[in-house]
Amino acid sequence: MSDQERIKVGQHIQEVEGLRPGAVRRTVLRGAQLAGLDQYLARAPLKSVRVSGELRDDGGHFTGDHICGTIRISARRVQGEDYGIPFRWGEVATVATSATTPEQAMQRTFVHELGHCLLYRLMEQEGREAVKALIKPVFREAVDMSRTVSERAEENWHEYFCETFSASVYHHRELTSRDPVGYRMVQQARALLEVDHGDS
Ligand SMILES: [Zn+2]
């Protein structure tokens, strides 16, 4: 399928480090296409995607982060912890843990971090307070009503946005019934950034 090769280094992402072999690279980067960001990233490319064996901070191992257009992804994935956990709305640690393979989990982490990237760009465009005013009340209500997709989504409004964004990609139908307000929030963010839904 030529579709799998649509996200191109040098076009959608300026540089990619540490993603070998090619099949893994295609699987992970395909997340941007599944998220309907291919045309958007062609206009506004990511700076870089860096994959490494392990990412650690004071809190221990973590699976990925986003800083100013650079996304880092950890390749260290433990079955039953980082992937391979049956999806149940509101009961999983993160949307990524329900991936069935390490590569799919890395892809889901990539999509979550793309959410952080969109949020960052939205704050640059609209101002931090305006974005907070848009998302934080939706987050609070979702937590109060137990509508959040994952434990991570309950942490703060940033994580709520990114996990809801991931849910819009991987659990779209369930999102529209379980957290329709969150779904509309994601759609609103996409509209503000003029993110189209690709050709697919
Ligand atoms: Zn996050």
pLDDT of residue 5: 59
In a domain, 166, yes or no: yes
Our count of domains for the chain comes to 1
Distance 6 CA to ligand 1 centre (A): 25
Give the Å distance between the CA of 67 and the centre of ligand 1.
Answer: 11
Tell me whether residue 55 is in a domain.
Answer: yes
Taking 80 as the threshold, does the pLDDT of residue 198 lie above it?
no
Q: How far is the CA of 166 from the centre of ligand 1 (A)?
A: 10
Question: Which residue has better confidence, 44 or 2?
Answer: 44
| Structural domain contains residue 198 | no
Higher pLDDT, 198 or 170: 170
Mean pLDDT of 13-31: 90
DSSP letter for 53, please.
S
pTM: 0.94
Question: 157-170 and 102-126 are packed helices; what angle lies between their axes, rounded to 10 degrees?
Answer: 130
Domain presence at residue 197: no
Q: Is the pLDDT of residue 166 over 70?
A: yes
Residue 158 Cα to ligand 1 middle (Å): 7
**pLDDT-wise least confident of 2-6, 39-43, 66-70, 110-114:** 2-6
Show the domain range for 184: 2-192
In a domain, 200, yes or no: no
Contact 48/71 with Cβ under 8 angstroms?
yes
Domain assignment present for residue 148? The answer is yes
Over residues 43-51, the mean pLDDT reads 95
